[in-house]
Amino acid sequence: MEGLFVILGLALVATVMIVFIQESRIPGVGIMVSVFAGAIIFLYILPKITQVITVFDELASRASLNKFYLATIFKIIGIAYIAEFGAQICRDAGQSAIATKVEFAAKVLVMVLAVPIIAAILESVVRLLP
């Protein structure tokens, strides 16, 4: 819970700074503050993400699951989060068209990564059918 307050505090400080910068008409600096604050928040939560990945990795080992599928799912989740982060930065900079392209590219990458998993599921279904 305290982590959320740290993130919220950083976000509020960054927001106030950006508002003051925009009012003083200094071009580009507000976007840099936004990107910097976002990067700090990401680095702050990175250890939490690592803990989650470690737990799922241990559970997959206990269940004797193929690590390839787990790694692929983590890659898909990572693409989704990073693409959302990048798209929001583009939107903050007033570039919604580029943000849309980032989201589209992420969807294509997710689809490409999902193909082996979908193929394995279909293969299992075909084996079950008489």
Same domain assignment for residues 104 and 58:
no
Same domain assignment for residues 128 and 93:
yes
Domain boundary among 13, 37, 64: 64
Rounded distance between C-alpha atoms, residue 20 and residue 43, angstroms: 25
Q: How confident is the model at residue 84 (pLDDT cuts 50, 70, 90)?
A: very high
Q: Is residue 27 pLDDT above 80, yes or no?
A: no
To the question of pTM greater than 0.85 for the whole model, the response is: no
Model pLDDT, residue 76:
94
Same domain assignment for residues 37 and 70:
no
Same domain assignment for residues 85 and 25:
no
Percent over 90 (pLDDT), the chain = 48
Give the structural domain span for 19: 1-64
Same domain assignment for residues 70 and 121:
yes
**Phi first, then psi: what are they for 129, rounded to 5°?**
-75, 145
Same domain assignment for residues 52 and 95:
no
Rounded distance between C-alpha atoms, residue 13 and residue 11, angstroms: 6
Q: What is the pLDDT of residues 30-70, one digit of tens each?
A: 888 988 998 899 899 989 988 998 998 898 888 888 888 88
Domain boundary among 64, 83, 117: 64
